[in-house]
Chains A and B, each alone.
Chain A
Amino acid sequence: MPLKNHLKELRARLGVNQQEMGALVGTSRQTISQIERGDYSPSVTLALKIAKTCGVTVEEVFEYTEE
């Protein structure tokens, strides 16, 4: 998967668990878990919501790497 992310670190910085993070961005715990594992690339809307919740830009959460 060419999309890496720093969601786990940002979530730890916020001090919330996956369930709470899910509630903050309006998604489920499983989706947050999948994104953190790199199993799922979120939609643009969800990526923007996550970045907004973490108080950073999308590029700071998600990183595109050429493989």
Chain B
Amino acid sequence: MQIDDMKKDIRIDSNRKTVLKFIAFMLLAVFMGFIFGIVMDNEIIKACFISAYDVLRQYELHFYLVLNIVMCSLCIGLYVKSKILAEKWDGVDENQIDKIDVYLDIAGSINWFTLIAGVMLWGLSISNIKRWADPKTAWIIHMVLVFFCIGWTFTMRGKIMSFKHKLDCEEKIHVLDLHFERKYFESRDEGQKMIIYRATYDAHKGLHYIYAVLFFIAITCKLFFGTGDFPVVIICVAWFMEMMIYTKSVFKYKYQDKKERGR
């Protein structure tokens, strides 16, 4: 009975905290939306924003190229540096191998960010293709660029992964393998899987806040700049899909295991 009362108290206390946190977050989001709206309504700021946006739209392909060249150089630099360190490694110094791991992880992250930012800039550029004097040439330039950039991204990713596998004496899984994600996850041991679980849960938790903030920004932009319903709908659909995948996975792992145990 005492344990039940204790559990009930803990539950009530945590519910109160959650409700308070939720209300505080909603108030903060509304406040941020208002501030954003007021700031964006200012003529000077609006002009700065629009001119910055115009510059981005005018030179998006240039930005795309510069971004890829800078990031590719950075990735190659980190990769070469980690290779040099690995050659010098005596097999005992743990700090050095950790350093190599950090370099490779940074190179891998840069690779991902470049791919996502690049896809956005390339998409913006291709949606603006009509402004080119010769659309045919524009298409060829866009295609060559995208193949070049995706090519270096995947080549670099493959190199990083195979170097990591070699370093840890693990079985090599090619990045272009259709089941790469599944095979990679299955090849991890319990400690490495724990990192994946934690990182994935943090990403899932972070996405909730990001979607909420994006939702309010989209609503404010709709109110002040008339950006339309589309961004709001897209954010809600993405939010819904993310939650659906999470819930489906929870049900899958919770009840499938129970079923298997019952057999």
Please tell me if B1 contacts chain A, counting CB pairs below 8 Å.
no
- In the complex, chain B residues whose CB is within 8 Å of the CB of A43: 190
B101 and chain A: residue at smallest CB distance: A30
Using known A-B contacts A18-B94, A29-B97, determine if residue A23 contacts B190 with beta carbons closer than 8 Å: no
Q: Quick check: B191 and A34 within 8 Å, CB to CB?
A: yes
Q: Which of A28-60 contact B (CB under 8 A)?
A: 28-35, 40, 42-43, 46
B54 cross-chain contacts in A, Cβ below 8 A: none
- B136-147 Cβ-contact flags toward A at 8 Å (1 or 0): 000000000000
The interface residues of chain A lying within 8 Å CB-to-CB of B97 are: 18-19, 29
Q: Is the CB of B91 within 8 A of A42?
A: no
A35 & B191 in contact (Cβ 8 Å cutoff) = yes
Count residues on chain B whose CB falls below 8 Å from chain A CBs.
Answer: 16
Q: What residues of chain B lie closer than 8 Å to A23, measured between beta carbons?
A: 169
Task: Return chain A residues, CB-CB under 8 Å to B191.
Answer: 27-28, 30-32, 34-35, 40, 42
Interface set, chain A 1-44, CB cutoff 8 A to B? 17-19, 23, 26-35, 40, 42-43
> Please, which residues of chain B bring their CB within 8 A of the CB of A27?
189-191
Q: Is the CB of A33 within 8 A of B170?
A: no
B76 at the interface (CB under 8 A from A): no
Instruction: Please report whether the interface of chain A is mostly helix, strand, loop or mixed according to DSSP.
Output: helix
Point out the residue from A26, A28, A42 that lies within 8 Å of B170, measured CB to CB.
Answer: A28
What A residues does B190 contact at CB under 8 A? 27, 31, 42-43, 46
Expressed in whole angstroms, the Cα–Cα distance for A17 and B170 within the complex equals: 16
Known: A19-B168, A33-B98. A28 touches B192 (CB 8 A): yes
Contact B168 A17 (CB under 8 A): no
- The yes or no answer to B178 lying at the interface (CB within 8 A) is no
For residue B238, CB closer than 8 A to chain A, the reply is no
A interface list, Cβ under 8 A from B: 17-19, 23, 26-35, 40, 42-43, 46
Which residues of B are interface residues toward A (Cβ below 8 A)? 91-92, 94, 97-98, 101, 168-170, 188-192, 194-195
Given contacts A29-B97, A31-B191, 6 further A-B contacts (CB under 8 A): A17-B92, A28-B168, A28-B191, A29-B168, A40-B194, A42-B190
**What 7 pairs between A and B have smallest CB-CB spacing?**
A31-B191, A27-B189, A34-B191, A28-B189, A40-B191, A17-B92, A31-B189
Question: Could you list 20 examples of A-B contacts with CB < 8 Å?
Answer: A17-B91, A17-B94, A18-B94, A19-B169, A23-B169, A26-B189, A27-B190, A29-B97, A30-B191, A30-B195, A31-B189, A32-B191, A34-B191, A34-B195, A35-B191, A40-B191, A42-B190, A42-B191, A43-B190, A46-B190
